[in-house]
Structure 1
Amino acid sequence: MRYAQLTRYGADAPFELRERRAREAGPFEVVVKVHAAGLNPADARGREGMGREGDPPPLGFDVSGVVTAVGAATTKFRPGDDVYGCAGGIGEADGSFSEEMTADERLLAHKPKSLSFREAAAMPLAVITAWEALVERAQITPGELVLVHGGTGGVGHFGVQLARATGAIVHATVSSAEKAELTRDLGAAEAINYRELEVADYVAKYTGGRGYDIVFDTVGGRNLEKSFAALATNGRVATTRPGDGLDLSVMGAKNATLHTVLMLIPLITGRDRERHGALLEKVARMVDDGRIRPLLDPHRFTLDQLGEALSFLDAGKPVGKLAVDIA
């Protein structure tokens, strides 16, 4: 089988297509014939090295495909099952930028029946992140007023839909009229062009000056200061990108809380992995019920164009998510 191997670290580092035999499944693992691999900012950071030394490991977190073999103790899947998950790209694990990968069954779920493999591959890391931020950390409840920064982003567009699915009232920031229309189509009651309105202006206009119960900040860094400013008293901020040197005094003045989310912890530590698989089973049912869907960028790439795809992603060009066609 073919796989893409990074030859060195760097923002423009090339990949080589190499051949190897698929690794046999361990007792609680499955072998997956990969149909598509989702792309995430974490893949671009992995390409750059993130401080690593030595030979680059296999890359690729998100996968969708068909189970071809199962380990001796596997009970969750059978050969022929369509699956998806965030199951590789960490440590010694196989990456999804490969025609086959062997993965921990706990990290996988049955693919939504209504989605193509390419659409399904675009979901796992991003939708798990949005779920952990809004449902588990911020503990969103029906009727709350929620602001999502980056309403058409890879994580943000799932945040809009999950918040709407819980019965919250969702507003989202965008950078253009076209993205505003997309965001409303995903369920946002208001789409706010942050290039046209300052925080104080849209808080006054859309919340009567009260602020938002929850702000989900997928931008992070200095943008968190805008999130703090937009927050209501006793509100909650959840972010995927905490910044350094931020003034948190406004959070204290509002009796607010700040939550950070790194959904890769189960992959890194090996603990609590079954939670991700169970969550993706729940998400698959929501997808098939028409409650959420991936916003897939129309640009298409194949395995031998992986370097171009990651550069396109790193430049911030996609609207929604990118996926690479493998099979």
Structure 2
Amino acid sequence: MSQPTFRALMLDDYANNSFREAQIVRPEPAANQVLVRIIASGVNPIDYKIRTGKAPYAMPELPAVLGTDMAGVVEAVGANVKHLSVGDEVYGLVGGVRGLQGSLAEYVAVDTDLLALKPKNLSLREAAAIPLVFLTAWEGLVDCAQVKAGQKVLVHGGAGGVGHIAVQIARALGADVYATVSNNKRSIVEGYGATAIDYRNVSVEQYVKQYTNDEGFDVIYDTVGGQSLDDSFAAVRHYGHIASCAAFGTHNLATGSLRGATLSGIFVLLPMLTGNGRAHHRDILTEATRLIEQGKVKPLVDPRHFTLNEARQAHDAVEQGSALGKVVIDVA
């Protein structure tokens, strides 16, 4: 008797970096796993970087199914699974790195520690836009910087994927939030209750003086890297905290060190890559569900609809920066 198969996109070659459609055998969920029927796959910059061979710290052995974020429906439950049942609608940052199957496929067997019940007030398509960016924002703002009500928080790249969620989380925690954005995206961060800073037309010294009386921001979340991280060292208050999910360049730490500032590097893929800390991702996504159901956080989703056949075009939209919000691929 032949085993049931499902449709997936395979990557065979990092140099060619194009997808091939394939039928692969549908797995049975192992202990502590569930089999999820994928409805939607969220696209993040790490996805095209893996596809093009630019993320050696995360790339799987080929051939492989890529795709990091997903939302879908539990179809089967493995042994020892307590908090999920068949029919549950779930979301998570589940794979596409090292040995973990990704979400550009109709099914995936997932460690339940990487999944949470999706918010009831979001569609599965909207939910697929959440996991990586929420986890990244939360790890920086809450796990590392421990943002508190009344603090002044600056988010660099406040209209981007991680940035727009970081702005909303900081607001939900009661912080006074500021965000650097290009002028055409001011309305996005202002809609979340943050003060927009047009970084192209105002210097770091000017906005630090205007918004903090020259004292600097309590917490800065850098989602951009490069010059934005250097600017953060100059904009943080004495003994303040900088979190960055883009600290991959070479930087002079003197400016921040002379302020006694703390720098936290955020690398959200570590629990998937190492197997350690996965249950904390489930806890963070459970918190995401709570905040979203309370109306305090909402994903900004690019209006374009891409099918599984159009996954390459979805990757290109993210790489070229043409997206307004998170790009999502409709798998089902």
Match of 1:311 in 2: 316
- The two structures, once aligned, show a CA RMSD in angstroms of 1.4
Residue 186 of structure 2 is aligned to residue 186 of structure 1: no
Match of 2:141 in 1: 134
- Alignment map for 1:93-172 (pairs within 5 Å): 93-172=100-179
3-state SS of 1:20 partner: strand
CA distance in 1 between partners of 2:29 and 2:197 (Å): 48
Match of 2:51 in 1: 47
1:89-141 alpha-carbon deviations (Å, 9 max, x no partner): 12222210101111001110001000011110000011001000000101111
Match of 2:183 in 1: 176
The alpha carbon displacement at 1:54 in A equals 5.6
CA distance in 1 between partners of 2:187 and 2:198 (Å): 11
Match of 2:227 in 1: 222
Match of 1:231 in 2: 236
Q: Is the 8 A contact 2:90 2:116 kept in 1?
A: yes
Unaligned runs of 5+ in 1: none
Match of 2:3 in 1: none
Match of 2:305 in 1: 300
Letter in 2 for 1:35: I
Q: Is the 8 A contact 1:148 1:172 kept in 2?
A: yes
Q: Is the 8 A contact 1:200 1:230 kept in 2?
A: yes
Match of 1:38 in 2: 42
Letter in 2 for 1:122: A
Letter in 2 for 1:180: R
Q: Is the 8 A contact 1:154 1:319 kept in 2?
A: no
CA distance in 1 between partners of 2:21 and 2:65 (Å): 12
The alpha carbon displacement at 1:158 in A equals 0.6
Q: Is the 8 A contact 1:233 1:255 kept in 2?
A: yes
Residue 273 of structure 2 is aligned to residue 281 of structure 1: no
3-state SS of 1:23 partner: coil
3-state SS of 2:25 partner: coil
Letter in 2 for 1:227: S
CA distance in 2 between partners of 1:105 and 1:25 (Å): 10
Letter in 2 for 1:26: A
Number of residue pairs matched by the alignment: 324
3-state SS of 2:209 partner: helix
Residue 24 of structure 2 is aligned to residue 24 of structure 1: no
Q: Is the 8 A contact 1:13 1:307 kept in 2?
A: no
The alpha carbon displacement at 1:44 in A equals 1.1
C-alpha change, 1:119 and 1:53, in structure 2 (3 Å) is closer
C-alpha change, 1:24 and 1:53, in structure 2 (3 Å) is closer
CA distance in 1 between partners of 2:192 and 2:181 (Å): 13
3-state SS of 1:106 partner: helix
Letter in 2 for 1:153: G
CA distance in 2 between partners of 1:301 and 1:185 (Å): 27
The alpha carbon displacement at 1:283 in A equals 1.0
CA distance in 2 between partners of 1:60 and 1:245 (Å): 29
Unaligned runs of 5+ in 2: 1-5
Q: Is the 8 A contact 1:58 1:95 kept in 2?
A: yes
The alpha carbon displacement at 1:168 in A equals 0.4
CA distance in 2 between partners of 1:319 and 1:207 (Å): 30
CA distance in 1 between partners of 2:247 and 2:100 (Å): 27
Q: Structure 1 residues 122-131 or 44-53, which shifts more?
A: 44-53
C-alpha change, 1:5 and 1:228, in structure 2 (3 Å) is same
Letter in 2 for 1:235: G
C-alpha change, 1:236 and 1:53, in structure 2 (3 Å) is closer
Q: How high is the TM-score relative to the length of structure 1?
A: 0.96
CA distance in 1 between partners of 2:212 and 2:82 (Å): 50
3-state SS of 1:128 partner: helix
1:156-195 alpha-carbon deviations (Å, 9 max, x no partner): 0010000001100000010123x1111111121x101111
**Identity, % of aligned positions:** 42
Q: Is the 8 A contact 1:38 1:121 kept in 2?
A: yes
Letter in 1 for 2:325: G
3-state SS of 2:38 partner: strand
CA distance in 2 between partners of 1:187 and 1:36 (Å): 29
Q: Structure 1 residues 50-59 or 298-307, which shifts more?
A: 50-59
The alpha carbon displacement at 1:53 in A equals 8.5
Letter in 2 for 1:97: L
CA distance in 2 between partners of 1:199 and 1:225 (Å): 10
